Amino acid sequence: MFEDLEKINERPEPFQYYTASDLWTDEHTSKQMLSFHLNEAIDVSSRNAEFINRSVEWIASEFNIGRDFKIADFGCGPGLYAAPLAKRGANVTGIDFSGRSIECAKEIATREKLNISYVKQNYLEFETEDRFDLVLMIMCDFCALSSTQRKKILGKFHRILKPGGSVLLDVYSLAAFEQREEVATYEVNQLNGFWSPNKYYGFLNTFKYDEEKVVLDKYTIFESDRARQVYNWLQHFAPEDLERKFIAAGFSVKGQYSDVAGTPYV
């Protein structure tokens, strides 16, 4: 038991483990995540419906989206951005490794006769001969990637964009980092049964890495027949640091905003 407790409370090196697929492709948790996506009133897997509508309007105006405008939506989920942008005439490709979300997105696209191609794949491995006017990565997916993965994804964005194309993504700020605190909690059926349909014991350890500006939510889940750990990493950025990374990848930075609805950055 002591060794188990030591492992539960062990602080790993930043981005030492990558378990994103455990959250998004597991039969039970992917169902929970999709329900969060589709709940229009909350900001969990995606933003609330009011914000998404406002964001789509700003994106459509800012990037002059119309017929034959090509968009790649990385981490598209059930198509909450892909669908309304396709309704404005865009040709959208959505990439996500949650099969449950992709199937939901495909059903909506078929029902509404939308010009969207959905790809069930880890977007880090996505390759295509298509070239796009706009790449989206919304809901701070960029923050969940290690420095190596971020470099890889920026290189991919650069390759698949048309000349003059744009990238729009959002990240967590240093102000958000300062608001987080280190905690250790334990609960039976933690998060109201989120991790399993069966009884389990859940531990959450939140670690802050001050030098790297990284926060880790480390979940340890014990069921009767298995134990597992899920690592939710979140890199936080200063604006100038983020700009340096994009410039190093061959981009120029047009603007920085407080959100993906065009709110001025202050």
Rg (CA), the chain: 19
User: CA-based angle 54:56:60, to the nearest 5?
Assistant: 120
For CA atoms 167, 86, 44, 218, the dihedral sign is negative
Nearest to 161 by CA among 135, 124, 142, 127: 135
Give the per-residue pLDDT at 27: 85
pTM recorded for the entire structure: 0.92
Give the per-residue pLDDT at 39: 67
Are the beta carbons of 86 and 93 closer than 8 angstroms? Answer: no
Distance CA 124, CA 242 (A): 19
- What DSSP state is assigned to residue 123? G
* 257: phi then psi, degrees, rounded to nearest 5: -130, 165
Instruction: Please provide the CATH number assigned to the domain covering 30-171+238-249.
Output: 3.40.50.150
What is the CB neighbour count within 10 angstroms for residue 237? 18
Per residue of the chain (266 residues), what is the pLDDT tens digit?
A: 899 899 999 999 999 999 987 777 788 988 888 776 666 555 554 568 899 999 999 999 999 999 989 999 999 999 999 999 999 999 999 999 989 999 999 999 999 999 999 999 999 999 999 999 999 999 999 999 999 999 999 999 999 999 999 999 999 999 999 999 999 999 999 999 999 999 999 999 999 999 999 999 999 999 999 999 999 999 999 999 999 999 999 999 999 999 999 999 87
Distance CA 173, CA 195 (A): 28
Give the per-residue pLDDT at 46: 56
Angle between helices 147-160 and 239-248 (to 10 degrees): 60
Give the per-residue pLDDT at 221: 96
SS3 84: helix
User: Which bin fits 139, alpha (ψ -120 to 50), beta or left (φ > 0)?
Assistant: left
Tokens, residue 195: 């991790």
Q: Delimit the domains of the chain by residue range.
A: 30-171+238-249
Distance CA 115, CA 6 (A): 51
Nearest to 108 by CA among 88, 128, 87, 136: 87
What is the number of alpha carbons within 13 Å of residue 150 lying toward its C-beta?
22
Helices (H), ranges, the chain: 2-8, 20-24, 27-38, 49-62, 82-87, 99-111, 147-160, 174-179, 190-193, 239-248
- What DSSP state is assigned to residue 141? G
Are the beta carbons of 33 and 42 closer than 8 angstroms? Answer: no
Question: Which amino acid makes up residue 1?
Answer: M
